[in-house]
A and B are shown apart, each in its own frame.
Chain A
Amino acid sequence: MNHNEWLERAEIYALGALDVEEAIQFEAHLASGCDLCEHHLRETREALTLVPRSLMPETPPPAVKGRLLAQIGDEAASVRPARPRPRWLWWGMSAGAFAAAGLLITLSVSLVSTRQELQRLEGQVASLQVELARREAPLALYTAVINLLRDPSTRDVPLRGVGPGAGAAGRFLWNESGEGHLFVANLPPAPEGNAYVVWTAAPGMPPRSAGVIQTDASGKGGLHVYPGRSDHGVEVFTVTLEPSGDVSAPTGPTVLASK
Chain B
Amino acid sequence: MGAEPGHDPVLLIQQIARGDREAFERFYNRYASLVYTLALRVVHVRSDAQDLLQEVLLQVWRQAGSYSRDRGSPEAWLLTIARSRAIDRLRSVRRRDRDLLPTGHSSAPEGGGKVEGRMAQSDARLTLHGALARMPEAQRTVLEMAYFDGFTQSEIAARLGEPLGTVKTRIRAGLQRLRELVGAKAPEGLS
Contact = CB atoms under 8 A, between A and B. Distances in A.
Given A16-B146, A54-B127, A91 B33 contact: no
B28 A65 contact: yes
Nearest to B132: A54
Interface string B88-111: 100110110001000000110010
Nearest to B181: A50
Interface in B11-35: 16-19, 21, 24-25, 28, 32-34
A95 B187 contact: no
Interface stretch (A135-143, A166-174, A212-220): A135-143
A8 B190 contact: yes
A interface residue count range (under 10 / 10 to 19 / 20 to 34 / 35 or more)? 35 or more
A4 B186 CA distance: 11
B50 to A, nearest CB: 5
Contact of A53 (B34, B64, B83): B34
B152 A56 contact: no
B160 interface: no
A71 B81 CA distance: 19
Contacts of B107: 136
Interface string B133-148: 1000000000110111
A79 B19 contact: yes
Given A56-B124, A81-B65, A140-B110, A72 B190 contact: no
B119 interface: no
A32 interface: no
Interface string B164-191: 0000100110010011011010010110
Given A79-B65, A137-B95, A143-B92, A49 B76 contact: yes
Interface residues of B, number: 83
**Of B76, B132, B189, most A-chain CB atoms within 10 Å:** B76
A143 B90 CA distance: 11
Given A16-B83, A49-B75, A54 B59 contact: no
Contacts of B68: 90
A72 B77 contact: no
A78 B76 CA distance: 25
B121 interface: no
B41 A226 contact: no
**Of A36, A77, A96, most B-chain CB atoms within 10 Å:** A96
B161 interface: no
Contact of A59 (B36, B71, B150): B36
A56 to B, nearest CB: 5
B61 A54 contact: no
A47 interface: yes
In the complex, the 5 A-B pairs of residues with the closest C-beta atoms, listed nearest first: A54-B130, A54-B132, A82-B66, A17-B146, A50-B131
28 contacts: A7-B190, A16-B87, A17-B152, A17-B153, A19-B152, A45-B72, A45-B79, A49-B182, A50-B130, A51-B132, A51-B144, A52-B38, A52-B41, A52-B79, A55-B125, A58-B36, A59-B36, A60-B36, A64-B50, A65-B25, A65-B28, A69-B25, A80-B62, A83-B66, A87-B71, A94-B88, A139-B91, A228-B99
